[in-house]
């Protein structure tokens, strides 16, 4: 298993290009199941999660060509609407195939997901939403077996779940009649998905707001689509810049997608400049403590919480970080403490007392964003070497992170054990 070895203490400097968004790519790949012709996705990131979705779709009989930067997906009428446990357990986003399969084939059998170790993460909201559209659902030996002709309905989500919003929106595209999805999640990835579906011939309005209306259509055709830039990847590089007192510009990013995060960096004393699609963060002086509470979009992204905690370990003062989206999403805290951070957990709040410096240590990645936080902490550590184990978590969501950080002046390498 690979490790990343980091000799920290160097400010990151330079420019880095952001890849296509993982959290847009996965639902877009699933949505291609709805089209009766080939779909082409551009700007696809080369990530393990993308390879997993590729395997799930190929296993159903979807014809896929992947050249590294774009992917063509063609779903024949003969595809088998089934997603097996072996693949679905690796990635919760596999569950996104349920809505499109049901809408296109009238039935689906999809394993219940596993995914990151960040709380119980049930799929009840997805299932209730699809049932409201008329799906008959039963749980059978760890699988969700769904069938039925879908009809438009008024659906109110009890919580603005990103995945449930996407699953119900995709299913509603081919349901008969009008669906109104209330308390929908507003994440930019949902807007990207709606743009793709509308280009296919769907009739979706309101994506990006909390009321999405979908007028069902009979058929959807294949289209080409360029995936939006990854806002979490952009935020991760900018957090690394702030934490190392560096000066980094992320290119091809959308500042308006991470407003809450950039506002916190400013409040902590970092310089933040936005020029069109480039975002520059510089932190020549030390940072000040700030309080952060995660929330559904447009609030502070839970996917940037761990990286922000790493940055705040050396800020001047006491920061309080409250996680409201997931339970049990402070897996990075105990590992950061092993590097010298002072973090006390109190329910869903972490109290981070700024320390003078971090020291390198062997640490273990536990989930995707926690592992990004450990890499940032390793880059910040002014003494010793950090060895981040279980790097496969990082590879789920960051493309060749060590090479891109090295290009910013970091001293790190991947080693094979």
Q: Which stretch binds ligand UD1 (CB under 6 A): 62-70, 124-132, 246-254, 268-276?
A: 124-132
Q: Does 396 bind ligand UD1 (CB under 6 A)?
A: no
Known catalytic residue at 173:
no
Enumerate the β-bridge partners of residue 342: 353
Q: In terms of CB distance, is 10 or 22 closer to ligand UD1?
A: 22
Query: By CB under 6 A, is residue 288 in contact with ligand UD1?
Result: no
Least distance from C-beta 196 to ligand UD1, angstroms?
14
Asked if 326 interacts with ligand UD1 (CB under 6 A), we say yes
- 255's CB contacts (< 8 A; 6+ apart) are 262, 274, 279
CB of 323 to ligand UD1, least distance (A): 10
Sign of CA dihedral 259, 246, 312, 388: positive
Q: Tokens standing for 79? A: 């595809």
Pick one of 33, 79, 93, 401: the residue that binds ligand UD1 (CB under 6 A). 93
CA distances from 407 to 35, 40, 368 (A): 40, 31, 22
Residues paired with 3 in a beta bridge: 389, 415
Q: Which stretch binds ligand UD1 (CB under 6 A): 139-147, 159-167, 316-324, 345-353?
A: 159-167
Interatomic CA distance for residues 201 and 103, integer angstroms:
14
Q: Which of 39, 46, 116, 173 is catalytic?
A: 116
The reply on whether position 117 binds ligand UD1 by CB under 6 A is: no
Nearest residue to ligand UD1, by Cβ distance, number only: 163
Options 160-168, 257-265, 309-317, 407-415: segment touching ligand UD1 (CB under 6 A): 160-168
Contact 268, 288 (CB under 8 A): yes
φ/ψ of 286, rounded to 5, equals -65, 160
C-beta of 26: minimal distance to ligand UD1 in Å?
A: 5
When asked if residue 125 is in the footprint of ligand UD1 (CB under 6 A), the reply is yes
Site membership for ligand UD1, residue 123 (CB under 6 A): yes
Q: Which of 103, 105, 53 is nearest to 83 (CA)?
A: 53
The residues near 263 (Cβ < 8 Å, ≥ 6 apart) are: none
- Alpha helices by DSSP H, listed for 61-178, are 85-88, 98-105, 124-132, 162-173
Q: Which residues are catalytic?
A: 116
List residues near ligand UD1 by CB under 6 A.
Answer: 23, 26, 92-93, 119, 121-126, 159, 161-164, 185, 189, 302-303, 325-326
């Amino acid at each position: 298993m690979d490790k990343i070895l980091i000799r920290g203490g160097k400010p990151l400097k330079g420019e880095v290009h952001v890849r296509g968004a993982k959290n847009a790519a996965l639902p877009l790949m699933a949505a291609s199941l709805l089209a009766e012709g080939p779909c082409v996705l551009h700007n696809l990131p080369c990530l393990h999660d993308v390879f997993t979705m590729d395997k799930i779709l190929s296993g159903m009989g979807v014809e896929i060509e992947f050249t590294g930067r774009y992917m063509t997906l063609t779903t024949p009428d003969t595809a088998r609407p089934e997603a097996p446990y072996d693949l679905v357990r690796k990635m919760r986003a596999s569950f996104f195939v349920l809505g499109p399969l049901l809408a296109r084939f009238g039935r689906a059998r999809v394993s219940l997901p596993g995914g990151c170790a960040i709380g119980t993460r049930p799929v009840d909201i997805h299932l209730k939403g699809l049932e409201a559209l008329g799906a008959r659902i039963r749980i059978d030996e760890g699988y969700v077996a769904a069938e039925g002709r879908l009809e438009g309905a008024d659906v109110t989500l009890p919580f603005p779940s990103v995945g449930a919003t996407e699953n119900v929106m995709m299913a509603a595209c081919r349901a008969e009649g009008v669906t109104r999805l209330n308390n929908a999640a507003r994440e930019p990835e949902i807007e990207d998905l709606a743009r793709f579906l509308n280009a296919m011939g769907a009739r979706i309005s309101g994506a990006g707001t909390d009321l999405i209306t979908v007028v069902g259509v009979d058929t959807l055709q294949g289209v080409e689509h360029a995936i939006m830039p990854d806002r979490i990847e952009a935020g991760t590089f900018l957090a690394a810049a702030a934490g190392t007192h560096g000066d980094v510009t992320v290119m091809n990013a959308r500042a308006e997608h991470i407003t809450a995060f950039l506002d916190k960096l400013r409040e902590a004393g970092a310089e933040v400049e936005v020029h069109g699609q480039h975002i520059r963060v510089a932190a020549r002086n030390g940072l000040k403590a700030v309080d952060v509470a995660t929330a559904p979009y447009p609030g502070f992204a839970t996917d940037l919480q761990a990286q922000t905690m790493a940055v705040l370990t050396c800020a001047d003062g006491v920061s309080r970080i409250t996680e409201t989206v997931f339970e049990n999403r402070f897996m990075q805290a105990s590992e950061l403490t092993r590097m010298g951070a002072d973090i006390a957990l109190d329910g869903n709040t972490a109290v981070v007392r700024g320390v003078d410096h971090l020291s390198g240590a062997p640490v273990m990645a536990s989930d995707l964003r926690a592992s990004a936080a450990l890499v940032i902490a390793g880059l910040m550590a002014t003494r010793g070497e950090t060895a981040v184990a279980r790097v496969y978590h990082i590879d789920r969501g960051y493309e060749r992170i060590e090479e891109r950080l090295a290009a910013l002046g970091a001293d790190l390498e991947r080693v094979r054990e």
